[in-house]
Structure 1
Amino acid sequence: MTMTEAAGNMRETTEALVAKARAAVPVLAAHADATDQQGRLAPESLEALREAGLFELGTPVEFGGADVDLVTLVRVLSELGRACPSSAWVVSISTGTKAHFSRGFPEKVLAEVYSHPDVRWCAGSTPGQAVTVPGGVKVTGRWAYASGAEDAHWAFMAVASVGDDGVPHVGGALVPMSELAIERTWRVAGLQGTGSHTVVADGVFVPAERFFEFPLGPDGGPDFLMGRPLEVVLQAVSVTAPLAGAALGALDVVKAVVKTRKPPMTQYNSLAESASARHVFAEAEHMVTSGYDRLISLAGRIVEQWPGDDVTAVQRSSLRMEVVSILQQFLRAVDLLLDLHGSSAFALDNPLQRFWRDLNVGARHAQLSTYLTTENYGLLVTGAGGPVQVG
């Protein structure tokens, strides 16, 4: 196969997956309120995503998964987020967790885990405790913010143990959800439907083949990026994609009423008749659409530089700065759209307020910390020191 043919096949795969995502949108939109209120994906939404094969995105190809690049993933997740950001978020987290951590386990384990390609994972990053026992480890801990926990099949959990030398070792354990408890702790203002609850283990046995220790990085600490320096940026872009969808969804809501909605206490018959309203809408529309284009472009640059072995720390930090810059653009745009729509946008039956809540909560995810990303970049470009955060 020539490079041209391979590129053509990739484009066909991308367009097919985007079309599947678009076909699932009406179902996700129709059940977005139920997803929000129930604190987990509505059964109808879950089934629509499964039927579309969108939980297969992070599954290894040899086990029936789809080998997609970051540009394709961003397009698919943004499309889903345009209807229901919570649904898109759960797909994003499961996809990223599987794609990154599957390679830490032997083929025998993966064959068991991926008995069906649409298997779903959740994850907890704050390390629990692992105690070595014959044949494996026993794991104890609490892992908060495990998005999609109630609908996941497996949980990947970071754990720490102390060896005979007194040195702490950090690894990852893969555990069936049937062996874990879930505490419904996710009560937040936005992304309510992600069900990012707390996963609990109390002395759960994990066989040795389902546990691995993270390799050591150049600084002597655990390398959570597992030898892929751009992984931290890739994951940041992946979780931004559903939020891009939220901004696009908010734009859709206001665009649908701009010619019919009357500005309050004026003689205008519609927002479109008001010069100032047109100006605000044009500004917001451009922020959203250009922000989306920037995100696609950034994803393409990451694909070209992957896995980033020759990317400097400054370059990597600069890419993260671009992610948070795009997010700030989305946040500002949706605020403008709310100004245009007025107070009725905050009625609970108006999807605009849900897009606004989901965007604002998601933008504060640890991967997207604006102030720490800026601090890292400032330290690096001034030569004042190394980053205070991974990446």
Structure 2
Amino acid sequence: MVSTTREAAREQLVRGAAELAPLLREHAVWHDENRQLHDDVVDAVADAGLFRLRVPRRYGGFEADTRTLVDVAAELGAADGATAWTASVCWITTWMAGLFPDEVQDEVFGNGDVRVCGTLSPTAMAKPVGGGVVVDGKWGFISGARHAQWQVIIAVLVEPEGEPYPVMAVAPMSDLLVVDDWHTSGLRGSGSVSTVARGVFVPSERVLPLPAVLQGQYASARNSELPMFRAPLLPVASASSVGTVLGLARGARDTFRRRLPDRKITYTDYDSQSAAPLTHHQVAAATLKLDQAEFHAHRLAALVDGKGAENAPWKLEERARARADLGAVVALGREAVDIFANASGGSSIFLDVPIQRIARDVQAINQHALMHPDTNNELYGRVLCGLEPNTLYI
């Protein structure tokens, strides 16, 4: 019965995401040109409840599993990668906010449909003061910052004694400055601007040691028994991210198919591109890569959700494989998009043809530090060879 209920809830959320597709496609060019999401799109995503997928039920959230995240993001991403990416980042940082003490969650989630942005990069410094820490620094690539109320921040805490170490904290956006510096080639609509802290005080209850968090030592009592929180941060983040890439690859496939009946191959005698054997090879190769990407995405989600449901301990190899599955989805998704884009002809470079934007978006994701296929493959191979990981981010 529980499984049936979960499947029904997933289908409803995925259907809600699919129903947003016309609105997302309508605003996709505007997103790209204005380097942020349109307010109408943000409102629609919020009204569909999609920002609350990883919010605990006691605050009106869905406590959705990562398979639901994959399927919802794929629907959003097929229409607009920037919207899917921004929602995915919000799911990760919202989940991270659920690691803090319960009274902190009451503060963060107690005011309705709250959105959380953030990062895992420790590009700020913190110093201890009475009752908390003072943070100074800057964080880049903060997707959704313009539409968020809270940010999860990472800073290096320097105490009078002992070695410096990174801490994870949560701060209201009203305490931070937003810098409009998002001038990029891909994921332009995500509005992943920088934020700055200048002498921001964060009370001690809103500060956690990041090494402990990365090892699964969380501070929430009420969330400790929820399957959603029985997983390490990096596998959760990995499973939360892959749906966007699936969506982009599906969007490339759908765009190619829509244009195919009316396209010729210039300087050949093919009256229709669909008649050319080359096209048959291209479509088959790209579709098989998309199939492979879906396998890795669903295997990753099944691992995270299955471990959470069983409350089973994580093996080092499983944690490394989660990063590898993430990298595989990212690489295969890009390869599928590249094939469709390469087969789309000169007219596809016009800005009103989605394939060029999809190609830029998927390339941007491939450059993300935690999603880069080469980095993730190296980590997986290192662990498979019996060596210790050379990173905390596993």
Q: Output one character per residue of 1:34-59: Cα deviation in whole Å (capped at 9) or x when no partner.
A: 11111111111111101111111121
Work out the CA distance in 1 between the residues paired with 2:360 and 2:311. Answer: 34
User: Residue 153 of structure 2 aligns with which residue?
Assistant: 157
1:319 pairs with 2:322: yes
- CA distance in 1 between partners of 2:92 and 2:206 (Å): 18
Q: How does 1:4-83 map to 2 (within 5 A)?
A: 5-83=1-79
Distance (Å, rounded) in 2 between the aligned partners of 1:211 and 1:326: 33
Instruction: Tell me which of 201, 204, 207 is aligned to 1:205.
Output: 201
Aligned residue in 1 for 2:214: 223
Residue matched to 2:302: 300
Superimposed CA distance per residue, residues 240-259 of structure 1 (whole angstroms, 9 cap, x where no aligned partner):
21111111101110011222
Task: Check conservation: 2:140, 2:193, Cα contact below 8 A.
Answer: yes
Q: Which sections of structure 2, spanning at least 5 residues, go unmatched?
A: 219-229
Q: Does 1:366 align with 2:361?
A: no
Looking at structure 1, the residues matched to 69 and 388 of structure 2 have their Cα atoms a distance apart, in angstroms, of: 31
Alignment-derived partner of residue 257 in structure 2: 255
CA contact (8 A) 2:289 2:332 kept: yes
Letter in 2 for 1:362: I
Q: Is residue 2:337 matched to residue 1:334?
A: yes
Which residue is equivalent to 1:270? 272
Q: State whether structure 2 residue 121 is matched by structure 1 residue 119.
A: no
Structure 1 portions without partners, runs of 5+? 217-221
Shift of 1:308: 7.7
Q: Offset at 1:155?
A: 0.9
Name the structure 2 match of 1:219: none
Residues 126 and 339 from structure 1, CA distance in 2 versus in 1: closer, same or farther, beyond 3 angstroms?
Answer: closer
Candidates 217, 237, 240, aligned match of 1:238? 240
- Post-superposition offset of 1:117: 4.1
For residues 350-383 of structure 1, the C-alpha deviation after alignment (integer angstroms, 9 at most, x for no partner) is 1110111101111221221222222222322223
Take 1:133 and 1:230, find their aligned partners in 2: how far apart are those partners? 30
Say whether the 8 Å CA contact 1:97–1:122 is kept in structure 2. yes
CA distance in 2, matches of 1:310, 1:6: 23
Residue 222 (structure 2) aligns with? none
Quickly say closer, same or farther: Cα 1:282–1:96, change in 2 above 3 A: same
Q: What pairs up with 1:79-228 in 2 under 5 angstroms?
A: 79-105=75-101, 107-127=102-122, 128-214=124-210, 216=212, 223=214, 225-226=216-217
Provide the aligned C-alpha RMSD in A: 2.0
CA distance in 1, matches of 2:278, 2:155: 55
Q: Is the 8 A contact 2:215 2:232 kept in 1?
A: no
DSSP-derived class of the 2:256 partner: helix
- The worse-fitting range, judged by mean Cα deviation, of 88-97 and 206-215 is 206-215
The worse-fitting range, judged by mean Cα deviation, of 257-266 and 165-174 is 165-174
Query: What percent of counterpart residues are identical?
Result: 30
Distance 1:143 1:308, change over 3 A: farther
Give the 3-state SS of the residue equivalent to 1:129 in structure 2. Answer: strand
Q: Which amino acid aligns with 1:279?
A: H
Kindly indicate whether the alpha-carbon contact (under 8 Å) linking 2:91 and 2:240 is maintained by their aligned counterparts in 1.
Answer: no
* Separation in 1, partners of 2:303, 2:295: 12
Relative distance call for 1:206 and 1:184 in structure 2 (3 A) is same
Q: Distance in 2 between matches of 1:54 and 1:263?
A: 42
